[in-house]
Amino acid sequence: MTVRHLALQATASIILFGFVTLGSSAAAQAQSTAAPRNLRVAGVTDWTVSLQWDAPKGKAPSSYVVQCSNGHIMTVAASQVAATFSSGFDYNRTYTFRVYAVGPNGAWSNASNTVTATLLADTTPAPKPVVSSTDVGPTHVDLAWSYSDIDPSPRFDIYVNGQLWAGQVAGSSMRIVFLTPGTPYTFRVRARDSAGHWSELSDPLQVTTPAADATDREPPTMPPGFSGGIIDGATEAMVTFGDSSDNVTAQDHIRYEVYLNGRFNGATIAPYRHQFTVYLTLGVLNTIEVFAVDQAGNRSAPASMTIDLRTQ
């Protein structure tokens, strides 16, 4: 089956020889652009493959499309006959590439020759993150960090005052919550790349949370919509509740404390979901309560429910 025939598939995506060939209504027109020639691998790193090719003879194309066996494509200007591909790679894998010329009418040429490249093994330590703070409140600090590596899926461990606070975090930011107003904290971040190499700990970032509003004496409203029940077996229950409001503390920073039979069972805060799993006690009337707590430490009246396991 030729690419000309594939073009007649209009807007469909067709898998051919391990590639996803993209169709379009424009590509259904007769092709007049010759295929790129002499596609070759110019360089390989642990996360990139550099390619070069010769321009087709005859009519100049309007652009090129580089296609990889992982399903990703890259559009390249007609003035260029080289590209560095880095999309959708997995560590230390082998990939196949080919290039198409795209004519002024949008039709794709036949494919160039096919080349194969294997990503190199990563033997260098992950670079050290650089940590900063983007927002600070009496009970939270928003951290952000930069990471100077092209690895597409690094993970990060976050330390607060020398203790691991969160491990294997994806992304480059996180809100640190449940902090104490008017208290100094030290934050550090360590990176782990896809090859398993750890970075050094970042330089310490020292932040002091501001004091809470000393005039705030009003507690938040009672958590609304408190409900729940047994979800698995005889003792595992799930409770859910809505957002409380407060005259000073924003909803994002209201803490919710859950108590089971008078004992603290845990806490949650935005942006985490307002739901909680509790493990009940057989043979008793279980009481579950949730309090909303603002940044000044004022506690709402509890939302409360009971689950009777005395007959279980």
Query: Which residues partner with 291 through β-bridges?
Result: 257
**Residue 9 pLDDT > 50:** no
For residues 55 and 275, which has the higher predicted lDDT (pLDDT)? 55
Residue range 130-208 in CATH 2.60.40.10: yes
Examine the pLDDT at 261 and tell me if it is beyond 80: yes
Domain boundaries along the sequence of the chain: 3-118, 130-208, 227-308
Question: What pLDDT sits at residue 26?
Answer: 43
Domain at 227-308: CATH architecture: Sandwich (2.60)
Q: Map tokens 């009970």 to a residue.
A: 139
Whole-prediction pTM value? 0.74
**Per CATH, domain 3-118 is 1.10.150.120:** no
Decide if 3-118 and 130-208 have a common fold: yes
Higher pLDDT pick, 25 / 166 = 166
Percent of the chain with pLDDT over 90: 75
Asked whether the predicted pLDDT for residue 8 surpasses 80, the reply is no
Give backbone dihedrals phi and psi of 5, rounded to 5 degrees, phi first: -70, -35
Task: List pLDDT tens digits, range 41-67.
Answer: 999 998 999 999 999 988 889 999 999
Number of Cβ within a 10 Å radius of residue 140: 20
Residue 2 pLDDT > 70: no
